[in-house]
Amino acid sequence: MKVLVIGSGGREHAIAWKLAGESSVEKVFVAPGNGGTAAENKCVNVDIKYNDIPALLDFAKNNRIDLTVVGPEEPLSKGIADEFEKAGLAVFGPSKAGAEIEASKAFAKDVMKAAGIPTANYMKFTDFETAKAYVEEKGAPIVVKADGLAAGKGVTVAQTAEEAVTALKEIFIDGLFGESGSSVVIEDFMAGEEATYLALTDGKTILPLVISQDHKAVYDGDKGPNTGGMGAYTPAPVIKDDMFRRVTEEIAYPMIRELAKRKIIYKGIIYAGLMINGSDIKVVEFNCRFGDPECQVVLSRIKSGLTDAFKAATEGNLEKARLETSDDPAVCVVLTSGGYPKSYKNGYEITGIEQADKIEGIKVFHAGTKYSEDGRLLTSGGRVLCVTATAKDLKTAVDKAYGACNLIRFENMHYRRDIAAKAFKKH
């Protein structure tokens, strides 16, 4: 079987690595891939941008690709799955209409409301002055979200009204998120602890993966601006087994059924970002793809093959698919370029990955890396590497991940020192 994975982050390296490990998979093309996928067994990078849909389609047709897995949200929201399906190609990822659950916060809220899914109250605004007046009337804490796609960075949880107004100014006046900032959703603040629920779906059946927890803020103690994700771990004890079942029954199924009522047969990954407060579960957001870095830890625990399940989801018979998961926890620490998520420099040489990868239970997934012409591995993005560890218990996995991080060097490297710390507090 020949597979095409679209994207260039740590998530796509993890997907490509997982699929390449299956005996039925002969080759994994990654478009465009990164330094990690370039060196991964059975993987080949293809020099096509992740959002160049016509070129990706031509490549898939010309190379008789059996299955395409789309990593990031942008090509999905531009309709890549619709184009591949029209051409008779198997593609794992929702249609353009399905991807609206992530691409439009307002659409997602509307579907949630109709499906009776618990979430925060919200209002949508298309101009700065009205939004500012609303924030000043409501007061803080309050949540400001750019309505479109912003790579996880369009959300501000404001502790003061001034902070919320600054976020509105950045979106509406400074144009920080371009088109994605032409409208804004302002939500009530939700107290609690976040968790990530991921499931495969064919639009009828939900096949849940293990629960994980992301760390969005750039600094320890959840301080500083939001990033795409600074680290993750699984399992996340904030979600107990009975709650996990409730998420599937009361959130995931109602969501795909409400979408089906609207003639959207949602296929691919459904991601529910949850806020847990005691036994109360609310949805913070839906995404239309694997989380990054949640994908790295969740896939590290899957013992069975994934291609059959991906195929079953695309073919509409997911009820037949089974996945086997290891009980061993997994932790991922993201090594970033100092300055991310704001400005940072690329092109610094990275050393120490080989030594880190030699440690039993460690896998270093690449994100923003590339090889120079003279064969050196260089930084080429905000999130550079995702150091992922599995072990018999979470504490050992955390120690192992940080031990591996200590071996890796590049100029201005930054990472959080408290990944998974929340797992050790009383729940």
Site residues, ligand GLY (CB under 6 A): 152, 214, 228-229, 287, 291-292, 294
> Would you say 230 or 318 has its CB closer to ligand GLY?
230
Q: What do you get for the CA distance between the two ends of the chain, in Å? A: 44
Cα 7 to Cα 344: distance, rounded to the nearest angstrom? 21
Q: Residue 294 CB, nearest distance to ligand GLY (Å)?
A: 6
> Would you say 235 or 291 has its CB closer to ligand GLY?
291
> Which residue bears the tokens 């991807």?
99
Cα 170 to Cα 177: distance, rounded to the nearest angstrom? 8
Peptide bond into 72 cis (omega under 30): no
Long-range contacts of the stretch 393-400 (C-beta < 8 A, 24+): 393/329, 394/233, 394/329, 394/331, 394/420, 394/423, 394/424, 395/424, 397/233, 397/328, 397/329, 397/330, 397/331, 397/361, 398/233, 398/331, 400/331, 400/359, 400/361, 400/362
Please name which of 350, 335, 333, 331 lies closest in space to residue 383, comparing C-alpha atoms: 335
The SS3 of residue 13 is helix
Q: Residue 149 CB, nearest distance to ligand GLY (Å)?
A: 10
Q: Residue 289 CB, nearest distance to ligand GLY (Å)?
A: 8
Q: Residue 208 CB, nearest distance to ligand GLY (Å)?
A: 17
> Would you say 202 or 294 has its CB closer to ligand GLY?
294
Please name which of 68, 77, 58 lies closest in space to residue 6, comparing C-alpha atoms: 68
> Would you say 156 or 205 has its CB closer to ligand GLY?
156
> Would you say 83 or 187 has its CB closer to ligand GLY?
187
> Would you say 288 or 407 has its CB closer to ligand GLY?
288
By beta carbon distance, the residue nearest ligand GLY is 229
Give 155's strand partners.
Answer: 145
Q: Residue 396 CB, nearest distance to ligand GLY (Å)?
A: 24
In sequence order, the 6+-apart residues with CB closer than 8 A to the CB of 105 are: 122, 145, 147, 185, 285
Cα 48 to Cα 394: distance, rounded to the nearest angstrom? 38
> Would you say 57 or 211 has its CB closer to ligand GLY?
211
Q: Residue 285 CB, nearest distance to ligand GLY (Å)?
A: 8
Q: Residue 273 CB, nearest distance to ligand GLY (Å)?
A: 7
> Would you say 33 or 229 has its CB closer to ligand GLY?
229
Cα 405 to Cα 274: distance, rounded to the nearest angstrom? 29
Q: Residue 337 CB, nearest distance to ligand GLY (Å)?
A: 17
